[in-house]
């Protein structure tokens, strides 16, 4: 099972590097979208706990 995970991880990294080299603008957009989603989730969780604490 460890070998399968290592192979899959290697394939994912190889694809990411290939995508970055062949389509840098799209790769940058994908990173911006992913970062925005993580940031938005963090803001939502923070807002939830602030609202919960103020109740």
What's the chain's Rg over C-alpha atoms? 18
Measure the CA–CA gap between 45 and 20, rounded to whole angstroms: 31
What pLDDT does residue 55 have? 74
Q: What is the pLDDT of residues 5-33, one digit of tens each?
A: 999 999 999 999 999 999 999 999 999 99
With a threshold of 0.85, does the pTM exceed it?
Answer: no
Question: Is the alpha carbon torsion for 7, 4, 28, 38 positive or negative?
Answer: negative
pLDDT of residue 14: 96
pLDDT score, position 21: 95
Please report, for the chain, the start and end positions of each structural domain, with discontinuous segments joined by +. Answer: 2-54
Mean pLDDT of 28-46: 96
């Amino acid at each position: 099972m460890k070998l399968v995970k290592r192979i899959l991880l290697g394939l994912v990294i190889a694809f990411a590097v290939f995508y970055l080299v062949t389509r840098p603008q799209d790769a940058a957009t994908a990173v911006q979208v992913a970062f925005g989603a993580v940031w938005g989730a963090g803001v939502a969780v923070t807002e939830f706990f602030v609202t919960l604490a103020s109740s």
